[in-house]
């Protein structure tokens, strides 16, 4: 059975050190400990306490695991300086995700690792988790209480945080945070990672140059947003681009970009939905509309926009290119049950030209495993031409996935569109004469 960190020793040490430091620092009940210590040490207060903690552990010959020492430090910083108990984790750039499941369980996702890691919790009671939540959200004017037990907000640093508290959560207050990381990847990085090939990059650029409607599909944590950021930055700088998102995550560099973000209903403020933003975006006359993850009523409006001639780049969840089409159809049907399936399939297949499937592999790497051309329906069924596919052959000595990308020619229709723009394609994509 896996051994998880036991925070009990850290709590015991915290109480012992807390009592000693109050005496050593000659702290009064008022003003707050934080005010007294910051008046004494100024900006060096944090580092001063960290050094004193290290000295205490050495003096008493106490060896703590790194996460135990981190949890102990978190509690001391919160008690003496008013810091958030999650301060250390929030400042750790190696983490991309933080999950708090009540006061007893904390999991983190580290960049470059596939599995989540359970660490010692800095919390002892549910009230401490609630205090951390309210500290995080205090500047945003967002209430988290029994009347508002669910909240999803963007922090000032760009991180997304989802909060669930009792009575909705039976394990106590929960925090799920996706930490913001400035986007700085380019297509050459994906090439270096082995995520795709030069030929695939050339084809994606050709799709942008001919204004194909592109759907990027992938499972959670497969890198869909990162890939969209990279592709979006390849759009011609002279073309007007408007991004529409529920929670703004796109960071691609473009000369003529306007970013729009929806707004949930809040006290005193009207809700602004993705549908509202899409209608506004169309009126702003863009060459491209780039949409965040498709998950609701906005899909039908988006496909109609695409079918009328606007170019779109959108993201959805799916395990394959075919799954992505079926998911769009299912979501539209859920919100618009009166629409016949035959019409939905015709609209979907005529509105989406290219599907790029991104996957997170078992070794943690990310690859573009499919690039598919959407063909006209046949007997009412979707048809796809898999222009590129990744075929896994095994693993190397380091446990990394090995394989090769295979290709097949475009349909004559798509090849003709690209030929009419004098676009040079890799020879393997040209249909037989």
Q: Which two tokens stand for residue 251?
A: 């960071």
As a whole-number percent, the residues of the chain with pLDDT over 70 amount to: 95
Q: What is the pLDDT of residues 49-63, one digit of tens each?
A: 888 888 888 888 888
Residue 10: pLDDT above 80?
no
Query: Residue 291 has what pLDDT?
Result: 94
Enumerate the domain spans of the chain: 8-178, 187-429
Fold of the domain spanning 187-429:
Rossmann fold (3.40.50)
Fold of the domain spanning 8-178:
Beta-Lactamase (3.30.450)
CA angle 43, 48, 54 (to 5 degrees): 150
Q: What is the mean pLDDT of the chain?
A: 87
Is 382:345 a contact under the CB 8 Å cutoff?
A: yes
Neighbours of 96 (CB within 10 A): 19
| Cis amide bond preceding 31, omega within 30 | yes
Q: What is the pLDDT of residues 345-354, one digit of tens each?
A: 999 999 999 9
Within 13 Å, how many C-alpha atoms sit on residue 353's CB side?
23
Query: Residue 430 has what pLDDT?
Result: 86
Place of tokens 């508290």: 165
Indicate the range of 161-165, 219-223, 263-267 predicted with least confidence: 263-267
Measured between alpha carbons, how far apart are the two ends of the chain, in Å? 62
pLDDT band, very low/low/confident/very high, at 34 (cuts 50, 70, 90): confident
**Phi then psi for 24, rounded to 5 degrees?**
-60, -40
Q: Which two tokens stand for residue 411?
A: 């349909």
Indicate the range of 38-47, 111-120, 314-323 predicted with least confidence: 111-120
Query: Residue 114 has what pLDDT?
Result: 65
Helices in 148-267 by DSSP H: which ranges? 187-193, 198-209, 224-232
Q: What is the pLDDT of residues 362-421, one digit of tens each?
A: 888 899 999 999 999 999 999 999 999 999 999 988 888 899 999 999 999 999 999 999
Is 256:238 a contact under the CB 8 Å cutoff?
A: yes
Which residue, 290, 296, 293, is CA-closest to 271? 296
CA angle 264, 265, 270 (to 5 degrees): 110
Q: Annotate 335-368 with three-state secondary structure.
A: HCCCCCHHHHHHHHHHHCCEEEEEEECCCCCEEE
Report the C-alpha gap between 3 and 391 in whole angstroms: 37
Q: What is the pLDDT of residues 110-162, one digit of tens each?
A: 876 767 889 888 888 898 888 888 888 876 778 888 888 998 888 777 788 89
Report the C-alpha gap between 177 and 153 in whole angstroms: 10
**Burial, 9: exposed, middle or buried (Cβ in 10 Å; 0-12, 13-18, 19+)?**
middle
Query: Strand order in 311-317's β-sheet?
Result: 257-261, 241-245, 288-293, 311-317, 214-218, 354-360, 366-378, 381-395, 401-407
Q: What is the mean pLDDT of residues 17-30?
A: 82
Is 97:109 a contact under the CB 8 Å cutoff?
A: yes
Q: Which two tokens stand for residue 419?
A: 């030929």
Q: What is the pLDDT of residues 272-305, one digit of tens each?
A: 888 999 999 999 999 999 998 898 889 999 999 8
Report the C-alpha gap between 386 and 203 in whole angstroms: 13
pLDDT band, very low/low/confident/very high, at 8 (cuts 50, 70, 90): low
Residue 267: pLDDT above 70?
no
As a whole-number percent, the residues of the chain with pLDDT over 90 amount to: 45
Within 13 Å, how many C-alpha atoms sit on residue 197's CB side?
16
**Burial, 413: exposed, middle or buried (Cβ in 10 Å; 0-12, 13-18, 19+)?**
exposed
Q: What is the mean pLDDT of residues 196-210?
A: 95
């Amino acid at each position: 059975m896996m051994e998880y960190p036991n925070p009990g020793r850290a709590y015991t040490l915290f109480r012992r050190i807390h009592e000693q430091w109050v005496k050593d620092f000659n702290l009064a009940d008022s003003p707050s400990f934080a005010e007294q210590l910051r008046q004494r040490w100024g900006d060096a207060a944090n580092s001063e306490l960290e050094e004193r903690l290290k000295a205490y552990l050495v003096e008493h010959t106490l060896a703590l695991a790194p996460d135990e020492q981190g949890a102990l430090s978190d509690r001391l910083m919160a008690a003496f300086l008013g810091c958030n108990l999650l301060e250390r984790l929030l400042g750790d750039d190696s983490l991309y995700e933080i999950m708090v499941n009540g006061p007893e369980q904390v999991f983190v996702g580290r960049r470059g690792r596939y599995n989540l890691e359970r660490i010692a919790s800095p919390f002892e009671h549910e009230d401490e988790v609630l205090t951390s939540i309210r500290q995080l959200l205090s500047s945003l004017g967002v209430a988290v209480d029994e009347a508002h037990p669910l909240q999803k907000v963007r922090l000032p640093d760009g991180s997304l945080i989802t909060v669930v508290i009792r009575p909705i959560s039976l394990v106590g207050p929960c925090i799920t945070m996706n930490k913001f990381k400035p986007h700085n990847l380019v297509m050459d990085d994906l090439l270096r990672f082995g995520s795709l090939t030069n030929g695939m990059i050339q084809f994606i650029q050709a799709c942008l140059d001919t204004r194909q409607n592109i759907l990027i599909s992938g499972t959670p944590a497969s890198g869909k947003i990162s890939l969209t950021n990279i592709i979006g930055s390849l759009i011609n700088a002279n073309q007007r681009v408007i991004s529409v998102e529920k929670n703004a995550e796109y960071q691609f560099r473009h000369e003529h970009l306007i970013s729009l973000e929806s707004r949930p209903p809040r006290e005193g403020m009207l809700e602004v939905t993705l549908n509202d933003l899409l209608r506004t975006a169309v009126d702003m006359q863009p060459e491209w509309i780039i949409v965040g993850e498709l998950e609701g009523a906005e899909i039908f409006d988006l496909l109609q926009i695409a079918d009328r001639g606007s170019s779109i780049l959108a993201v959805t969840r799916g395990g394959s290119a075919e799954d992505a089409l079926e998911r769009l159809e299912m979501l539209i049907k859920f919100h618009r049950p009166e629409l016949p399936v035959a019409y939905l399939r015709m609209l979907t297949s005529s509105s989406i030209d290219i599907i790029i499937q991104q996957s997170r592999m078992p070794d943690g790497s990310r690859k573009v495993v499919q690039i598919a051309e959407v063909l006209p329906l046949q007997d009412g069924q979707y048809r796809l031409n898999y222009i590129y596919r990744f075929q896994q052959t095994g693993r190397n000595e380091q446990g990394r996935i090995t394989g090769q990308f295979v290709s097949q020619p475009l349909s004559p229709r798509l090849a003709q569109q690209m030929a009419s723009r004098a676009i040079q394609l890799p020879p393997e994509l040209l249909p037989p004469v």
